[in-house]
């Protein structure tokens, strides 16, 4: 009996009136966990009942604790008829299962009903006493931490990055046909919510087990998705990166955590060897192999031609691994071998991370992606007939005996795709894939599975446990040129996987670099970027005949390669139009509908200093005979050239002139001016040819500059830059802006447009789609105009085709204001970068900043926290010089040397900062102190509602994350049968999304947190039936609940504590 769950129902407020006669409600609460139910007394005639119940105790397996949500149902007591449900609260108690996270869940939760939405709130307290698990054959994985964040969470240190973990669970969908059904809408919605909650709990537990097998203790970059396959069922799948993380904390933060006896017990299973499970005999379990033994004959799948399977078996594969010896000298080979051996133990050397600990990412090859079109059929699953009671009837070990091939089919599908990705990466001379993600698009019985990532070469440093050769590591460090290493090609120059223009790196001039670089990862923090970045989108529609089953799948498969090709052409053209040479955070989404396919690619364009300057775009007319046509062409050409020039100015792209001799490029490069106009159509032709014949497009370091249709050119030029004061990107950070202020606004915007069936041509569609996206962006800029200057970060577009002529675009992003002061910005940027450098260079220094950010003790004394950026810029003398160099660096050599200076300076600053507290004392005004006191009050205490910030980013500007409280993963269904009365579709969805935000915030606040980072709305499926006055929506969101402390507060504390209090280490207090 490994756990005791305790629940107390305190009170309710703002309950709806359930008894029309008295205008009051006789409310009571049912508390259910697993098969056990408790009830509170009925609190008569009140809309604000005070139950103050006893502690309801559930004695349960930790396995159940992981899988099951706590269900709280509020009902209205009725003597004569059945009790009416007011609403429910589902509480995921997972955050209570590992140490360091929350110790108690306590607060006001919105009472949610799938028909009426939020109906009042209920105050609940939940605790868990976890006992030491003696069962060696356990199925639970309590203690494994999950993070949605796709980088090593702040306040943790990666000891080992074990690699890819994945799992999927399938089930019957209890109610997929929502419009006409037998059960009441409420019953079916709730059945569905409950099921998905259970399935995701189970999935998480299984992933956790895999992590334990790999000897890890955490999953980073955890991405869980639902495939609503309709008739064929429901698939919940997840991927992530298994890691062993170390909490960076001073003892002061840890001691108080043991205050309660329950806490102590909870910690013990975690503090021991992270893998007490003797069952995992090796890193690769037989189980895993089992999972991937798929039989292709079984599935009615059609392999998309976008990724040719042959490829992975042909010499290309051999090239990737075999060419290791001849690539880049003996050192490279050694490095490669070592890393390879580390990675080859793993079936899929994938990381879902998009940002990496310093030194991990060595080279980036380019984007690899694979798609496949599959036909769905019913998931026969006898074990799942009894949905609720029996979900765990197949355990991890039961895969063999499991009497259904279906989950395996789904698994096999993904295995196939992953295999493909792996071989693509090999072809690029890379042994790993980073920034890896998977997605699906389903329409009727056709499903497109997509996977993409960035082929990369990683340093073995984090990949193996303690086996790393120190000297080698040292050499890696030495050999990595500052800020450009990752751009250097990982493949063999003489045996390139695709044609690309290679030049010597413009930064270090030693290694070769490609002319453009596409990646799915975030911009590495040490990358040298010129100017600012911008959001670049490629948008595309293709009509498709309506068809059934296999014919449909064939049609889609045939369209896919053309779509991908065009998307890439657009991306490349737009990138050139912006005068930039690299894309980060690339995400290509292909959506399938009844009669069309939509492609939407988003990425952040930047100008990498290491890469050559991009060529221009030249328009070549097809019929040069006509004079006026010629004129038109030249007019267009001029327009394009003007746009490029304007963009360069807008994004401050002014790379230094580099003389050819210094570069020593083997490829004769024309001078800058002529390069702008240079046509590269020949090369693009080559690419096209190669693309089609070899199907090698996935490794798309392509160079396409031709624009053969006028419409394409027009569409290029219709993209209007954001109004002044606005920047946008889809990555975590915007290159060139670092002086964020603390104001953030996360938002979701949804638009659905109906296409008139008259103008359904490809071109009209494209135009419509383009207009839709552009208008949406314009609306966002307008709405957020009061925040300028600001940057829209992590702009995430999702397209779906809910019906024949409907296009739905959902955008989630965060607007962050920044300081206009440019001088401050550049110095600060430098300071931050150099800080990074400094911390990698010097181990003892490393401890400093990291300890600070792990510091969950508000009153804990640490003066250096905020000080370094400040003191760096306020340090007289040197910073002024820096400012000068940073504003106009005349050459890279200068810049590098100034960096080294900065590193030295930085190191000093940090040391000084830890001793010198007087600098900031004067800043600690009494008002700041007051602010802090307010803030440190528990968010749910008192009457006012505490502010919970939400952001898709992994950080909060101007604040330090001091504690991760656990993953938030919530699924909601909302339905209405009175659509008009609720303000139509817009009113309905607006309310629902606001409610979802509210419920996320409430859960975070109840965990003791004040923010959600890495927030993502993974699904927003909206269906309407206006003729019946009905609509339904499903939303799935996730993120990491955290506690953050404002840097200004930290400063106050750090300066005050030493002065007032002489024993700063003992004042630790865990904020709960």
Partner 1 sequence: MTSELDIFVGNTTLIDEDVYRLWLDGYSVNDAVALRVRSGILEQTGATAGVLQSDTMDHYRTFHMLERLLHAPPKLLHQLIFQIPPSRQALLIERYYTFDEAFVREVLGKKLSKGTKKDLDDISTKTGITLKSCRRQFDNFKRVFKVVEEMRGSLVDNIQQHFLLSDRLARDYAAIVFFANNRFETGKKKLQYLSFGDFAFCAELMIQNWTLGAVGEAPTDPDSQMDDMDVDLDKEFLQDLKELKVLVADKDLLDLHKSLVCTALRGKLSVFSEMETNFKNLSRGLVNVAAKLTHNKDVRDLFVDLVEKFVEPCRSDHWPLSDVRLFLNQYSVSVHSLDGFRHQTLWDRYMGTLRGCLLRLYHD
Q: Count the residues in the chain.
A: 1072
Residue 760 makes contact with partner 1 by CB under 8 A: no
DSSP H helices in 875-1023: 878-887, 892-915, 918-921, 926-936, 984-1006
Member of 24, 806, 919, 1021 binding partner 1 (CB under 8 A): 806
159 binding partner 1? (CB under 8 A)? no
Q: Which of 4, 714, 751, 911 binds partner 1 (CB under 8 A)?
A: 751
Q: Does 423 bind partner 1 (CB under 8 A)?
A: no
Distance separating alpha carbons of residues 995 and 999, to the nearest angstrom? 6
The answer to the question of residue 944 lying near partner 1 (CB under 8 A) is yes
Quick one: 571 or 755, whose CB is closer to partner 1?
Answer: 755
Binding residue count for partner 1, defined by CB under 8 A: 55
Minimum Å distance from CB 591 to partner 1? 17
C-alpha distance from residue 653 to each of 55, 528, 550, 789 (Å): 63, 12, 49, 19
Provide long-range contacts, Cβ within 8 A and 24+ apart, for 691-696.
Answer: 691/561, 691/565, 692/561, 694/308, 694/311, 695/305, 695/306, 695/307, 695/308, 695/311, 695/561, 696/308, 696/311, 696/427, 696/497, 696/498
Decide: is 1028 part of the binding site for partner 1 (CB under 8 A): no
Name the 3-class secondary structure at 875. coil
Q: How far is the CB of 345 from partner 1 (least distance, A)?
A: 43
Please name which of 910, 919, 854, 908 lies closest in space to residue 1058, comparing C-alpha atoms: 919
Q: Which is nearer to partner 1, 235 or 776 (CB)?
A: 776
Asked if residue 90 binds partner 1 (CB under 8 A), the reply is no
Given the complex with partner 1, which of 137 and 782 has the nearer CB atom? 782
Is 400 a binder of partner 1 (CB under 8 A)? Answer: no
**CA torsion angle for 171, 172, 177, 183 (degrees, to 10)?**
-120
DSSP string, 586-653: EEEEEEE-SSEEEEEEEEEEEEETTSPPPP------S-TT-HHHHHHHHHHHHHHHHHHHHHHHHTT-
Q: 941: how many CB neighbours lie within 10 A of its CB?
A: 10
Q: Please tell me the distance from the alpha carbon of residue 976 to that of residue 1023, in angstroms, as a whole number.
A: 11
* Residue keyed to tokens 């991927």: 239
Q: What is the three-class DSSP state of 75?
A: strand
Q: Which of 64, 121, 167, 1047 binds partner 1 (CB under 8 A)?
A: 121
Q: Is residue 911 a contact residue for partner 1 (CB under 8 A)?
A: no
| CB nearer to partner 1: pick between 748 and 886 | 748
User: Which of 430/1035 has CB closer to partner 1?
Assistant: 1035
Task: Report the alpha-carbon distance of residue 1011 to residue 1051 in Å, rounded.
Answer: 20
778 contributes a contact to partner 1 by CB under 8 A: yes
Is 110 a binding residue for partner 1 by CB under 8 A? The answer is yes
The yes or no reply on residue 670 touching partner 1 (CB under 8 A) is no
Check residue 936 for interaction with partner 1 (CB under 8 A): no
Using CB under 8 A as the binding rule, whether residue 789 contacts partner 1 is answered as no
- When the beta carbons of 14 and 639 are compared against partner 1, the nearer one is 14
Nearer CB in complex with partner 1: 375/753: 753
**Is 775 a binder of partner 1 (CB under 8 A)?**
yes
Q: Closest distance between partner 1 and the C-beta of residue 944, in Å?
A: 6
Q: Which is nearer to partner 1, 98 or 109 (CB)?
A: 109
Q: Quick check: 780 binds partner 1 (CB under 8 A)?
A: yes
Question: Is 972 one of the binding residues for partner 1 (CB under 8 A)?
Answer: no
Residue whose CB is less far from partner 1, 70 or 948: 948
Toward partner 1, which CB reaches closer, 490 or 593?
593
From the CB of 934, what's the least distance to partner 1, in Å?
Answer: 11
- Asked if 930 is part of the footprint of partner 1 (rule: CB under 8 A), the reply reads no
Smaller CB separation from partner 1, 529 or 999 = 999
Q: Are 83 and 77 in contact (CB under 8 A)?
A: yes
Using CB under 8 A as the binding rule, whether residue 994 contacts partner 1 is answered as yes
d(CA 907, CA 910): 5
Phi, then psi, of 373 in degrees rounded to 5: -100, 130
Minimum CB distance to partner 1 smaller for 732 or for 982: 982
C-alpha dihedral over 171, 175, 176, 181, to 10 degrees? 150
Under rule CB under 8 A, residue 13 binds partner 1:
yes
The residues, any chain, with a CB within 8 Å of residue 942's CB and separated by 6 or more, are none
Structure tokens belonging to residue 55: 């502690």
Residue 355: is it exposed, middle or buried by C-beta count within 10 angstroms (0-12/13-18/19+)? Answer: buried
Q: Is 122 a binder of partner 1 (CB under 8 A)?
A: no
CB of 777 to partner 1, least distance (A): 10
Q: Which residues contact 632 (CB under 8 A, 6 or more apart)?
A: none
State in angstroms the smallest separation of the CB of 1015 from partner 1.
9
CB-wise, 392 or 990, nearer to partner 1?
990
With beta carbons less than 8 A apart as the criterion, state whether 146 and 27 touch. no
Contact flag: residue 47 with partner 1 (CB under 8 A): no
**Interacting residue with partner 1 among 401, 876, 934, 943 (CB under 8 A):** 943
Q: Which of 395, 546, 785, 820 binds partner 1 (CB under 8 A)?
A: 785
Residue 875 binds partner 1 (CB under 8 A) = no
Site pattern 685..724 for partner 1 (x: CB under 8 A): --------------------------------------x-
Positive/negative CA dihedral, 479, 485, 490, 492: negative
Alpha-carbon separation of residue 619 from 201, 570, 624, 703 (angstroms): 55, 14, 12, 15
When asked if residue 586 is in the footprint of partner 1 (CB under 8 A), the reply is: no
991 lies in the site for partner 1, by CB under 8 A: yes
SS3 string, 171-239, reads ECCCCCCCCCCCCCHHHHHHHHHHHHHHHHHHHHHHHHHHHHHCCCCEEEEEEEEEEECHHHCEEEEEE
Q: Which of residues 719-748 bind partner 1 (CB under 8 A)?
A: 723, 745-748
Pick between residue 623 and residue 757 the one whose CB is nearest to partner 1: 757
Backbone region of residue 578 per phi and psi (left: phi > 0; alpha: psi in -120 to 50; beta: other values) = alpha
Could you tell me which stretch among 27-35, 400-408, 420-428, 771-779 binds partner 1 (CB under 8 A)?
771-779
Residue 779 in the binding site for partner 1 (CB under 8 A): yes
Residue 783 sits in the site that holds partner 1 (CB under 8 A) = yes
Q: What tokens appear for 562 in the block? A: 């053309």
Stretch that binds partner 1, among 598-606, 679-687, 921-929, 942-950 (CB under 8 A): 942-950
Q: Are the C-beta atoms of 940 and 106 separated by less than 8 Å? A: yes
Q: Does residue number 89 form part of the binding site for partner 1 (CB under 8 A)? A: no
Q: What's the rounded Cα separation, in Å, for the pair 274 and 1008?
A: 26
> Does 948 help bind partner 1 (rule: CB under 8 A)?
yes
Instruction: List the one residue out of 141, 165, 162, 174 whose CA is nearest residue 395.
Output: 141
Taking CB under 8 A as the rule, does residue 993 contact partner 1?
A: yes
Nearest alpha-carbon partner for 867 in 818, 822, 917:
917
The only residue of 342, 755, 907, 1053 in contact with partner 1, by rule CB under 8 A: 755
**Residue 594 binds partner 1 (CB under 8 A):** no
Q: Does 980 bind partner 1 (CB under 8 A)?
A: no
Residue located via tokens 């397996």: 61
Say if CB 215 and CB 1007 are below 8 A apart. Answer: no
Instruction: Enumerate binding residues for partner 1 (CB under 8 A).
Output: 13-14, 108, 110, 118, 121, 723, 745-756, 768, 771-772, 775, 778-783, 785, 806, 808, 943-945, 947-950, 983, 985-987, 989-991, 993-995, 997-998, 1001-1002, 1022, 1024
């Amino acid at each position: 009996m490994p756990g005791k769950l305790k629940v107390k129902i305190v009170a309710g407020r703002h309950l709806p009136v359930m008894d029309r006669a008295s205008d009051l409600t006789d409310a009571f609460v049912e508390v259910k966990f697993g098969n056990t139910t408790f009830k509170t007394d009925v609190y008569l005639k009140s809309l604000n009942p005070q139950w103050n119940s006893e502690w309801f105790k559930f004695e349960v397996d930790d396995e159940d604790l992981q899988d099951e949500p706590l269900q709280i149902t509020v009902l209205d007591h009725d003597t004569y008829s059945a009790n009416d449900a007011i609403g429910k609260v589902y509480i995921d108690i997972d955050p209570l299962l590992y140490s360091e996270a929350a110790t108690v869940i306590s607060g006001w939760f919105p009472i949610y009903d799938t028909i009426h939405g939020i109906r009042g709130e209920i105050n609940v307290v939940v605790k868990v006493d976890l006992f030491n698990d003696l069962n060696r054959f356990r199925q639970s994985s309590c203690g494994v931490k999950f993070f949605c964040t796709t980088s090593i969470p702040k306040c943790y240190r990666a000891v080992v990055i074990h690699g890819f973990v994945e799992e999927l669970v399938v089930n019957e969908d209890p109610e997929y046909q929502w419009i006409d059904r037998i059960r009441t809408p409420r019953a079916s919605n709730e059945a569905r919510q409950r099921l998905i909650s259970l399935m995701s709990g189970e999935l998480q537990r299984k992933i956790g087990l895999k992590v334990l097998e790999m000897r890890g203790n955490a999953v980073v970059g955890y991405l869980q998705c639902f495939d609503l396959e309709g008739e064929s069922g429901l698939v919940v799948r997840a991927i992530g990166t298994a890691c062993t993380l170390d909490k960076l904390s001073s003892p002061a933060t840890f001691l108080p955590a043991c205050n309660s006896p329950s806490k102590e017990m909870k910690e013990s299973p975690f503090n021991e060897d992270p893998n007490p499970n003797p069952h995992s005999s090796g890193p690769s379990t037989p189980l895993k192999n089992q999972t991937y033994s798929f039989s292709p004959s079984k599935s009615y799948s059609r392999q998309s031609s976008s990724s040719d399977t042959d490829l992975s078996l042909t010499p290309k594969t051999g090239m990737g691994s075999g060419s290791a010896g001849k690539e880049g000298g003996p050192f490279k080979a050694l490095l490669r071998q070592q890393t390879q051996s580390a990675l080859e133990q793993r079936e899929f050397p994938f990381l879902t991370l998009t940002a990496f600990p310093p030194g991990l990412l060595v080279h980036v090859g380019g984007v690899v992606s694979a798609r496949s079109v599959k036909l769905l059929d019913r998931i026969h699953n006898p074990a799942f007939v009894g949905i609720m009671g029996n979900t765990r009837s197949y355990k991890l070990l039961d895969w063999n005996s499991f009497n259904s091939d279906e989950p395996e089919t789904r698994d096999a599908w993904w295995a196939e795709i992953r295999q493909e990705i792996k071989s693509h990466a090999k072809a690029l001379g890379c042994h790993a894939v980073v920034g890896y993600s998977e997605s699906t698009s389903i329409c009727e019985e056709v499903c497109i599975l997509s996977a993409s990532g960035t082929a990369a070469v990683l340093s073995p440093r984090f990949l193996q446990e303690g086996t790393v050769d120190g000297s080698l590591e040292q050499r890696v460090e030495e050999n990595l040129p500052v800020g450009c290493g990752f751009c250097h090609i990982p493949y063999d120059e003489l045996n390139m996987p695709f044609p690309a223009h290679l030049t010597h790196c413009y930064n270090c001039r030693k290694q070769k670099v490609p002319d453009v670089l596409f990646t799915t990862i975030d911009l590495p923090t040490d990358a040298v970027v010129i100017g600012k970045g911008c959001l670049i989108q490629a948008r595309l529609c293709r009509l498709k005949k309506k068809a059934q089953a296999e014919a449909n799948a064939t049609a889609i498969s045939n369209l896919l390669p053309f779509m991908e090709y065009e998307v890439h052409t657009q991306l490349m053209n737009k990138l050139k139009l912006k005068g930039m040479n690299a894309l980060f955070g690339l995400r290509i989404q292909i959506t399938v509908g009844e009669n069309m396919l939509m492609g939407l690619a988003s990425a952040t364009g930047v100008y990498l200093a290491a890469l050559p300057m991009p060529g221009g775009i030249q328009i070549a007319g097809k019929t040069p005979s006509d004079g006026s046509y010629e004129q038109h062409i030249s007019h267009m050409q001029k327009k394009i050239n003007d746009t490029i020039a304007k963009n360069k100015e807008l994004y401050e792209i002014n790379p230094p002139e580099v003389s050819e001799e210094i570069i020593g490029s083997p490829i004769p490069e024309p001078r800058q001016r002529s390069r702008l106009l240079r046509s590269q159509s020949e090369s693009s032709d080559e690419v096209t040819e190669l693309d089609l014949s070899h199907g090698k497009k996935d490794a798309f370091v392509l160079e396409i500059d031709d624009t053969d249709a006028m419409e394409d050119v027009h569409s290029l030029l219709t993209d209007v830059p954001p109004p002044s004061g606005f920047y946008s990107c889809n990555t975590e950070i915007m290159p060139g802006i670092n002086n964020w202020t603390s104001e953030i606004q996360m938002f979701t915007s949804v638009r659905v447009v109906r296409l008139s069936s008259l103008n359904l041509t490809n071109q009209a569609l494209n135009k419509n789609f383009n207009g839709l996206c552009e208008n949406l962006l314009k609306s966002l800029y307008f709405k957020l105009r009061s925040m300028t200057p600001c940057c829209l970060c992590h702009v995430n577009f999702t397209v779906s085709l809910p019906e024949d002529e409907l296009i739905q675009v959902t955008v989630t992003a965060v607007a962050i204001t920044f300081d206009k002061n440019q001088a401050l910005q550049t110095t600060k940027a430098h300071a931050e970068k150099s800080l990074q450098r400094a911390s990698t260079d010097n181990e003892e220094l490393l401890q400093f900043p990291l300890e600070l950010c792990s510091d969950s003790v508000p009153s804990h004394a640490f003066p250096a926290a905020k000080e370094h950026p400040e003191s760096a810029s306020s340090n007289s003398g040197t910073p002024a010089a820096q400012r000068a160099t940073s504003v106009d660096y005349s050459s890279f050599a200068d810049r590098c040397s100034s960096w080294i200076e900065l590193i030295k300076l930085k190191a000093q600053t940090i040391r000084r900062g830890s001793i010198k507290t007087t600098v900031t004392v004067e800043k600690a005004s009494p008002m700041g102190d007051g602010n802090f006191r307010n803030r440190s009050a528990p968010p749910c205490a008192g009457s006012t509602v505490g502010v919970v910030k939400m952001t898709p980013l992994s950080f909060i500007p101007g604040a330090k994350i001091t504690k991760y409280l656990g993953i938030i993963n919530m699924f909601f269904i909302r339905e209405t049968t009175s659509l008009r009365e609720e303000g139509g579709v817009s009113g309905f969805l607006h309310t629902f999304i606001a409610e979802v935000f509210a419920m996320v915030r409430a859960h975070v606040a109840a965990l003791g947190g004040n923010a959600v980072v890495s927030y993502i709305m993974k699904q927003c499926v909206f269906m309407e039936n206006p003729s019946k006055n009905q609509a339904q929506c499903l939303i799935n969101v996730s993120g990491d609940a955290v506690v953050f402390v404002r840097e200004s507060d930290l400063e106050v504390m750090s300066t005050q504590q030493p002065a007032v209090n002489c024993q700063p280490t003992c004042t630790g207090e865990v904020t709960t």
